Amino acid sequence: MRVSICAVGRLKKGPEAELIRDYLDRFARTGRQLGLGPADVIEIDERKASTMSEEAALLRKAVPPGAVLCVLDERGKVMTSQDFAAQLARWRDTGRGHVVFMIGGADGLHPDLRAQADAALSLGKMVWPHMLARVMLSEQIYRAATILSGSPYHRA
């Protein structure tokens, strides 16, 4: 099952970009034998949208037909790492070929887009900068693969 992180804005080169690439590369190696991966990041240029509706239209175009859409939203479900891993496994095991995790722009995601999502995930009650949300999500995607593989990376 392919995994994409679709996010508004371009992440410049730096430590956050390096961390994301590292975690997604680790995920590709660990997930391969589990039927998970590869993973990629799809960036939406925020300069091409001046309203949330325009932003939502650009984000919708990035989601392949039949993909699971999971939006990151402060109103979403807070999950443990084990629960997140189990959810990825359920999507994989029900034959879903692609999951897209979507991170909106500075004002969040358009309500219609949130309503169309298959799932909503929260990284907690605090608000995080979008670049850090990408890093945290990338790490959790990798962590999910290690949990499913029985690796000692996750020590909870």
Q: What is the residue extent of each domain of the chain? A: 2-149
d(CA 63, CA 67): 7
The pLDDT of residue 106: 85
pLDDT tens readout for residues 14-59? 999 999 999 999 999 999 999 999 999 999 988 888 888 999 999 9
- pLDDT at residue 64 is higher than 80: yes
Q: What is the dotted CATH code of the domain comprising 2-149?
A: 3.40.1280.10
- List Cβ neighbours of 42 (8 Å cut-off, separation of 6 or more): 4, 5, 6, 7, 62, 100
- pLDDT at residue 156 is higher than 70: no
The pLDDT of residue 45: 87
How many CB atoms are located within 10 Å of the residue 147 CB? 23
Alpha helices in 33-155 (DSSP H): 52-61, 81-93, 111-116, 130-149
Say what the pTM is. Answer: 0.94
Query: Which DSSP helix (H) or strand (E) runs through 98?
Result: strand 98-103
The pLDDT of residue 128: 87
